[in-house]
Structure 1
Amino acid sequence: MSGIHGTVEERFQPVREAFTTAFEGRPRMGAALAVHHRGQPVVDLWGGVADARSSAPWTSDTSTVVFSCTKGIMSLLIARLVEAGKLDYELPLTDIWPEFGANGKDTVTVGDALSHRAGVSALRTSVGLAEALDWYAMTTLLAEQEPLWQPGSGYGYHALTHGWLSGEIIRRVTGKMPGKFLAETLADPLGAHLRLGVPVDHQTNIAHSEAAESLRESVRAQQAEGRPGEPNWPSAAMTLGSAFPQELVGSDAGFNRPDVRAAEFPGAGAVATARGLSAAWSSAIHDTDVTSRLDPAVLKQATEVRSEGEPVFPAPAPWPRWGAGFQLDSGARRYVSVEGFGHDGAGGQVAFAEPGLDLSFAFVTNWMEAGDDDRATRIVDALRKVVER
């Protein structure tokens, strides 16, 4: 394994130690970690391999697909639209997207769509990759579909479809595709390496993701949980039918494909460095030279609990809690404090902000695990001990 590189302020050395420990017994793993405190980088680390097939090392500028951490970034963008008075969480989605009201979905609000309550966590029609790459085909399917449950009556994780919901909200309000809006309003002003839709000829130094056996075991268990004669909707939420492997990646499949990285998948497809991801979260809670922190009143609305407890499709506890697109502190995902808000991602990615501590965090990796994966949790635990001193 390549060594650990980067910088850490002396006070945060325990965080470096926890990051280093995460590599033990994982020779094919690459990862990066960034922490901002009071708007300044205090941890900026990377190590391991970016592509185990060639032994290419993870460098300071290696980026990777951050999977559902993308949902958190989309939710930050929508919170900015609420702040600007261009959107409201209680607005019926049909006010900006009239077609979405078909088949009994006319009661869905923007907040419902963001908090996994829209009833369209999976598609009733199986689609292949070509259709999944077509923005207008996917948003049309979602708009026309009969919901899987009564919208607003419960929640079910919209693993991929959340992206077309949040992205279409952005497109309808701004007239811009979400990737362009992200670049213009957040990534470019901050100088953050954070992109949604990377042209094929610009896909350099992007890590190759691998599914560890723990993730494959988790997939097999989920597939086995389907009830005889009934669709396995949580499984379908990940694949859309035949568009993606259940693990989301394969040797040359899923989000390892150049055409998938080039498309806009706001539910799972952002490509970022840990440094860029942490900077984006820091900007939500700390003024910079080019951005202002999110208005506290809007942040309060965005982080109010909208979904919690057992989901519509039964899953074992602990269960997550959701605000308006933000994953909140819960037994399923612990942050440094109960005020933390952010989003994790498939395989071990975690990114969040802590407004009370003026702290942001991003851990990204190409070695995708599930089950008892505690890499990020141990690093967050170490960070908590540092700031509690």
Structure 2
Amino acid sequence: MHGTVAAGYESVGAEFAKVVAGERADYAGQLVAYVRGEKVVDLWSGPGFTADTLTGVFSATKGAMSLVVALLVQDGVLDPDQRVSHYWPEFAAQGKRDITLREVLAHRAGVVGADAGFSLAELADDRLIAARMADQRPYWRPGTAYGYHAWVIGALAGEVVRRVTGQSIQELFEERIRAPYGLDFHLGLPEELEPRFVTTLPMLPTPEQQAEIDDWDSGPESLAAIAFNTHRTDAPELWDFPNQRIVRAQGQASAGGVASARGLAGMYAAASTGFDGRPPLLKPDTMAEFAQIQSIGYDVVSRVHKAFGLGFSAVTEFYPFLGQGAFGHSGAAGSLSLADPRSGLAYGYNRRRYAYPGGAAAENTDLLRTCVEAARTTH
């Protein structure tokens, strides 16, 4: 284990050491926390891993997408309750005329995938996804249920952003968020940073875990298969998606981001508290609106209990020791990043090997709880 912890955060270092000791020999991960703009935890471990190592962060990318949208709503440029077709007329096809931006961001639109699926080249390109989704019929009546728009939510929101501003989510993220704060989080990884990237490794489930995976697995034409694009035989495996240069280069806004834990935590610190003398990006009212639960309960795609705000995951539902109003997002390989405005915590965790069962790795519960407890007693 390498790195530093500030006085009062020794317990976080001890908890990370437990993770390192209890994991596989090839474990590699990073943990970073800011509290009220001060970096208090900066730890890493594993073969070939440093504080500067970059990995694909999968759906933690949705946090970056959501932050761009939140800024535009805060600016008065976008209205969550406006119809998507108002901004993007082609989207009105196939019964989608009245779907609002709020319903898209809350995973309530029903447009979770395409009947024919997406190739790798299509899945890496938000513009191509959006063009396909414009003529796609919803899989449920919009607003009556919700289900995870895993691969497409960034493209849907991104096309609205492009129609209104003339810029992509990736361009706005770079201009307004990444560059001003010097964040190690990229929606489109420059070629010169490629040497810092390490490939994600596949999950190696135990026989018992594999049985659970097989039991959950849906048929090839099920809603889950369409939403996760597994009905397309030439599509990449989920764990292998960020390992493709075309994905890293284009920074697809649903799952194509590349970051270190410093970048993950730094983005939420920039959003909620600011740091290095820079003010927070979001006003308290904007944070409260985007963190507020919009969808909760049974997710008809993932078939588990979930909770979403506007784009962000309502993380307090899964980590009840967080303060109300916390917001963030996990990533399939095990990453988790979030802001807890009440304690002032911004948290980022990243790992190289895909963790069972997907989404935030189990160790996040104890790591995050220890960070929150230290933040509340130290600051």
Q: TM-score, normalization: structure 1?
A: 0.89
Matched, 1:323 2:345: no
Matched, 1:12 2:12: no
Q: Higher mean Cα deviation, 366-375 or 174-183?
A: 366-375
Letter in 1 for 2:34: H
- Aligned residue for 1:11, secondary structure, equals coil
* Partner residue, 1:52: none
Contact 2:110 2:140 in 1 (8 A): yes
- CA distance 1:218–1:67, shift in 2 (3 Å): farther
* Partner residue, 1:239: 229
Q: Higher mean Cα deviation, 236-245 or 72-81?
A: 236-245
* Partner residue, 2:245: 258
1:171: Cα distance to partner? 1.8
* Partner residue, 1:111: 102
- CA distance 1:103–1:354, shift in 2 (3 Å): same
- CA distance 1:290–1:27, shift in 2 (3 Å): same
Q: Deviations over 1:305-355 (max 9, x none)?
A: 110011234724xx1211111111345455633331111110210000011
* Partner residue, 2:34: 36
Contact 2:148 2:301 in 1 (8 A): no
Letter in 1 for 2:165: T
Matches of 1:342 and 1:18 in 2, distance apart? 22
Matches of 2:26 and 2:270 in 1, distance apart? 33
Matched, 1:276 2:263: yes
Percent identity reads 31
- CA distance 1:76–1:43, shift in 2 (3 Å): same
Matches of 1:189 and 1:60 in 2, distance apart? 21
1:235: Cα distance to partner? 2.8
- Aligned residue for 1:239, secondary structure, equals coil
Matches of 1:154 and 1:304 in 2, distance apart? 18
Matched, 1:364 2:350: yes
Matches of 1:367 and 1:335 in 2, distance apart? 27
Matched, 1:344 2:330: yes
- CA distance 1:127–1:32, shift in 2 (3 Å): same
Contact 1:223 1:235 in 2 (8 A): no
Contact 1:352 1:361 in 2 (8 A): yes
Matches of 2:258 and 2:299 in 1, distance apart? 29
Within 5 Å, give how 1:95-134 maps onto structure 2: 95-134=86-125
Q: TM-score, normalization: structure 2?
A: 0.91
- Aligned residue for 1:346, secondary structure, equals coil
Matches of 1:342 and 1:381 in 2, distance apart? 15
- CA distance 1:333–1:42, shift in 2 (3 Å): same
**Structure 1 gaps, min length 5:** 50-56
* Partner residue, 1:383: 371
- CA distance 1:330–1:35, shift in 2 (3 Å): closer
Within 5 Å, give how 1:277-296 maps onto structure 2: 277-288=264-275, 289-296=277-284
* Partner residue, 2:169: 178
Q: How well do the aligned residues superpose, as a CA RMSD in angstroms?
A: 2.3
